[in-house]
Amino acid sequence: MTESSTGRALQIDGLDVYYGRVHALRELSIHVDEGEIVALLGNNGAGKTTTLASVSGVVPARSGRIQAFGTDVTTAKPWEIVGAGVVHVPEGRRIFSRLTIHENLQLGGYLVKDEKVVDQRIEEVYERLPRLAERRTQQGGTLSGGEQQMLAVGRALVAGPRLLMLDEPSMGLAPLIVAQIMDLVQRINESGTSVLLVEQNARAALRIAHRAYVVENGEITLEGPAKELAADSRVIDAYLGA
């Protein structure tokens, strides 16, 4: 991995990704500045999840370049990318249902060599999310959908992310819980963590994001400040309704 520019949490340039013969991402270019929340909007199959999977090193790029905090991670292994400070909360939460909340959180620190640091981060998660603290010995699979999403985010925080990538954190949740999740994301960002937010709930995402991109068929079709996109008739018609 080679060093490059700084000031950017994430820089993606000309990314092409294929699934067999399917051209999933087409010269996609986006960036996240340090301290930003950037939303990536689009319909199912547009390429949002593929973008995060490519950054995480799970799906290889055919061409293009990915940089995280000035370091080229285009061909890095997933654990190297986590080590560089980029942590991905996947769609569907993917917590370990038979493990307790505390055990799930401990797994978030699997790359952290200092156990005291892991313990300190877990306590910080409990302070931030007291509902998890109250249930720390409860199996993850017995939690509500919203609590499982909070656990998935908490587990990611134990890894010590500088850039947190969230894939559909509001999926399947009641509006009140969605508001709580978005508030959590905003508070995480205010504490110094950059965020790339993939979200079908465009209204909720644009409410907290600084900037946003719209992806269609693997290509960026719109980009700009979140407030401007929220007022853009094309975004309103496609994603926000009347």
Model confidence at 5, pLDDT cuts 50, 70, 90, reads very low
pLDDT for 241:
65
* Dist CA 225 CA 155 (whole Å): 30
Measured torsion, CA atoms of residues 232, 14, 94, 45, in degrees rounded to the nearest 10 = 60
Strand order across the 22-33 sheet: 22-33, 8-19, 63-68, 71-72
Place of tokens 């156990």: 115
Contact 133, 126 (CB under 8 A): yes
Q: Do the strands 22-33 and 86-89 form a parallel or antiparallel pair, or are they unpaired? A: unpaired
- Tens digits of per-residue pLDDT, 67-89? 999 999 999 999 999 999 999 99
Largest Cα separation within the chain, whole Å, is: 52
In this predicted structure, the answer to whether residue 242 has a pLDDT above a threshold of 70 is: no
The CATH number assigned to the domain with range 8-85+161-240 reads 3.40.50.300
Determine the pLDDT at residue 93: 75
User: Mean pLDDT in the chain?
Assistant: 92
* Structure confidence at residue 1 as a pLDDT band (50, 70, 90): very low
Residue ranges per structural domain of the chain: 8-85+161-240
Percentage of the chain lying above the pLDDT 70 cut: 97
pLDDT of residue 91: 86
